[in-house]
């Protein structure tokens, strides 16, 4: 009999030791994903409970927050999905607060079901890094506000663990060391430099506004392969008032490309601006043939403040032969008007811009 009690006491002690070990070492809850990741790529973060060394016991329900850093460089893609650890017949509540860098998730087995033992994935969240994310940026994922319970509602302790992912951009064939813009009147000058170039075909210059997407506005040829400091310039002309955003699309000779950082220029013409530009082409031909071969010429003007304006064309005797604009002109907006001279005789013409107190006159030549 004494031997039986000794065995029983030993078994109770073992149970207490196991229970104490579990109390001291709760099963982990942790995000997992491969590292490093590439800029502009998608990757999935799995939130798991337990592991091979420390399983979770009798898990019925679970809620937590997956917080992540560097929200300027990473976005949640789509809606989080449930893992298979708690089974397929579950209640799942995903909520994304992307701007704040947080994904809140609740998942529970349904009433009448038992708890689950072991380890596995409870949720999956897909992320995407931005193409312009700096090389070596670290993204950290942290589990917070964890609440877990068994089928009877009893609390289950879990230990949150963090995850850090490094973003490694592939080495670029062109090392861009400087990129800046300078606004001057109605023009923006872009300048940039490269320290080295390998098979560099050139740079596509792109521009956007707050209301539009990036569009190509020009191209500057590269220097192929070079280990010397190279300088480049591009001027964007005839811009209205407002904010403009620029970037460079560097293109290799094999077609591969990468984007620069985005720079901003703000245009604001002085209120006294009153500009009438020389028509183009000039001279031009009303017959659409010969040396110049274009029966239409374009006349442009811009004002520094919103006001009424009148643009007219006159012959050498002062007779008004055309009214190209007569109304209110918006401040900072470039107006481009076409003058069709197909019905007019060749010779010298004058075009005049008036806004009440101010007048500008320019001369153009119509020839056959």
**So where are the chain's domains?**
2-166, 174-267, 274-366
pLDDT per residue as tens digits for the range 260-280: 988 988 877 667 778 888 888
Residue 21 pLDDT > 60, yes or no? Answer: no
Mean pLDDT value across residues 283-312: 76
d(CA 131, CA 73): 8
* pLDDT number for residue 171: 58
Architecture, CATH, for domain 274-366: Sandwich (2.60)
d(CA 152, CA 317): 101
pLDDT per residue as tens digits for the range 312-327: 999 988 899 999 999 9
* pLDDT number for residue 9: 52
Work out the mean pLDDT of the chain and round it to a whole number.
Answer: 86
H helices then E strands: how many in the chain?
A: 1, 27
* pLDDT number for residue 172: 61
Residue 16 pLDDT > 50, yes or no? Answer: no
Mean pLDDT value across residues 92-113: 93
User: 272 or 175: which carries more pLDDT confidence?
Assistant: 175
Query: What is the pTM (predicted TM-score) of this model?
Result: 0.45
- Do the domains 274-366 and 2-166 match in fold? yes
In CATH terms, 2-166 corresponds, of 3.40.47.10, 1.10.1660.10, 2.40.160.20, 2.60.40.680, to: 2.60.40.680
Give the residue among 229, 230, 213 at the shortest CA–CA distance from 221. Answer: 230
User: 24 or 366: which carries more pLDDT confidence?
Assistant: 366
Name residues whose C-beta falls within 8 Å of residue 3's C-beta, 6 or more positions apart in sequence. none
Q: Centre a 10 Å sphere on the Cβ of residue 342 and count the other Cβ atoms it contains.
A: 10
* pLDDT number for residue 245: 94
Mean pLDDT value across residues 285-294: 54
Which of 22-26, 241-245, 306-310 has the least mean pLDDT? Answer: 22-26
Q: How far is CA 140 from the centre of its chain?
A: 21
Residue 290 pLDDT > 50, yes or no? Answer: no
CATH superfamily of 174-267: Immunoglobulins (2.60.40.10)
């Amino acid at each position: 009999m004494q031997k039986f009690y000794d065995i029983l006491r030993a078994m109770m002690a073992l149970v207490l030791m196991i229970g104490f070990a579990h109390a001291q070492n709760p099963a982990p809850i942790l995000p997992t994903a491969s590292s490093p990741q590439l800029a502009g790529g998608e990757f999935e973060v799995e939130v798991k409970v337990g592991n091979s060394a420390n399983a979770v016991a009798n898990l019925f329900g679970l809620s937590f927050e997956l917080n992540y850093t560097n929200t300027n460089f990473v976005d949640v893609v789509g809606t989080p999905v449930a893992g298979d650890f708690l089974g397929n017949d579950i209640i799942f509540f995903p909520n994304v607060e992307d701007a704040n860098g947080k994904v809140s998730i609740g998942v529970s087995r349904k009433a009448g079901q038992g708890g689950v033992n072991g380890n596995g994935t409870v949720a999956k969240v897909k992320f995407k890094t931005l193409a312009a994310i700096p090389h070596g940026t670290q993204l950290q994922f942290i589990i917070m506000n964890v609440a877990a319970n068994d089928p009877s509602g009893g609390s289950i302790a879990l230990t949150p663990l963090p995850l850090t992912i490094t973003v490694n951009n592939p080495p670029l064939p062109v090392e861009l060391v400087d990129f800046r813009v300078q606004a001057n009147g109605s023009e923006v000058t872009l300048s940039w430099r490269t320290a080295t170039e390998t098979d560099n075909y050139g740079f596509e210059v792109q521009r956007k506004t707050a209301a539009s997407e990036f569009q190509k506005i020009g191209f500057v040829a590269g220097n192929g392969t070079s280990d010397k400091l190279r300088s480049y310039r591009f001027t964007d002309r005839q811009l209205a008032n407002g904010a403009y955003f620029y970037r460079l699309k560097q293109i290799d000779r094999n077609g591969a490309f990468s984007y620069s950082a985005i720079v901003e220029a703000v245009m604001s013409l002085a209120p006294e601006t009153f500009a009438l530009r020389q028509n183009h082409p000039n001279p031009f031909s009303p017959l659409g043939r010969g040396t110049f071969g274009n029966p239409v010429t374009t006349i442009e003007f811009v004002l520094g403040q919103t006001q009424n304006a009148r643009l007219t064309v006159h012959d050498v005797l002062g007779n008004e032969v055309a009214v190209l604009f007569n109304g209110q002109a918006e401040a900072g907006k470039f107006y481009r008007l076409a003058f069709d001279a197909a019905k007019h005789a060749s010779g010298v013409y004058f075009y005049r811009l008036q806004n009440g107190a101010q007048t500008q006159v320019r001369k153009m030549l119509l020839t056959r």
